[in-house]
Amino acid sequence: MLYFFFGGCYVEADHQSFITYVALGDSLTVGVGASFLAPGFVGRYVRLIEKEKHVNVCTNIYARSGIETDGVLDIARSQALHSKIERANIITISAGGNDLIQASKDFIESGETAELVQSVKDCHSNMVRIMGTIHKLKQQCGIPYRVYLLNLYNPLPQIQLADKWVKLFNQHLNSFHNGKTILVADLYSAFQGRQDELLSRDRIHPNNLGYKKIAETLSELGYPAV
């Protein structure tokens, strides 16, 4: 498994003055669509955490552009990441967007809605496994933490069934929300009707303003009590 990794850590030995953050996901977590040298949502979110909590953030990004939910599952299950996940105070997960794009392409070619329906089911199954893996690792961790799931915005409003697919996926994603350790960041509402403003030239990924909006949407959900 090949994935993009970035790690940065600032630690003071005498007390915990830092938050550990693990970002898992697809091209959204990588930051595809942002202008050259500009941060995606992860870098912007880290700045907001540091400003709000007055702590440094130890950041680890495990993501790969173009992967679907089964690829994110592979990342979450990687033994090399388990200790990182166990120690993380904050975990963000972006997944599902590439599944939507592929399912939409298949639908355009075949005209069969069954593939869209099956894609949603497969995504949900993969997300259940991802969350199950994280839950198992965090059960005995003994540290405050939160998992933030990024729901999907609809980059293809011109395809009516795409919006239906996105809403159905988001409905499944909301089933994980418990208001305490697992929260859903509502990107659908944040981007709806603002695609022209928030998407990059490829009309799929966010631009700089879009990534800023994602970071703000995450920040509005609050932080674990570290």
Catalytic residues: 27, 202, 205
Q: What is the largest CA-CA distance in the chain?
A: 62
Beta strands at 56-63 and 4-8: parallel, antiparallel or unpaired: antiparallel
C-alpha to C-alpha distance for 30 and 61, rounded to whole angstroms: 8
Q: How confident is the model over 137-185, as pLDDT tens digits?
A: 999 899 999 999 999 999 988 888 888 899 999 999 999 999 999 999 9
Q: Name which residue leads in pLDDT, 110 or 66.
A: 66
The domains located in the chain, with CATH, are 4-219 (3.40.50.1110)
Residue with tokens 């130890």: 58
Residue 6's pLDDT band (cuts 50, 70, 90): low
Q: In angstroms, what CA-CA distances link 138 with 40, 87, 163, 209?
A: 27, 8, 34, 33
Q: Name which residue leads in pLDDT, 14 or 168.
A: 168
Residue 101 is predicted with a pLDDT of: 87
Q: Considering the chain, what is the average pLDDT of its residues?
A: 91
In this model, does residue 10 exceed pLDDT 80? no
What strand order describes the sheet that includes 56-63?
4-8, 56-63, 18-25, 90-94, 146-150, 182-185
Residue 159 is predicted with a pLDDT of: 81
Choice among 4-8, 162-166, 197-201 with the minimum mean pLDDT: 4-8
> Which two three-digit tokens encode residue 152?
């999907």
Residue 117 is predicted with a pLDDT of: 84
Residue 16's pLDDT band (cuts 50, 70, 90): low
Mean pLDDT of 92-105: 92
110 has which bridge partners? Answer: none
Look at residue 11 and give its three-state secondary structure. Answer: coil
In this model, does residue 13 exceed pLDDT 90? no
In this model, does residue 5 exceed pLDDT 60? no
C-alpha to C-alpha distance for 19 and 12, rounded to whole angstroms: 11
Choice among 12-16, 150-154, 194-198 with the minimum mean pLDDT: 12-16
Mean pLDDT of 34-42: 96
Give percent above pLDDT 90 in the chain. 77
Residues in the chain: 226
Q: Are the C-beta atoms of residues 62 and 75 closer than 8 Å to each other?
A: yes
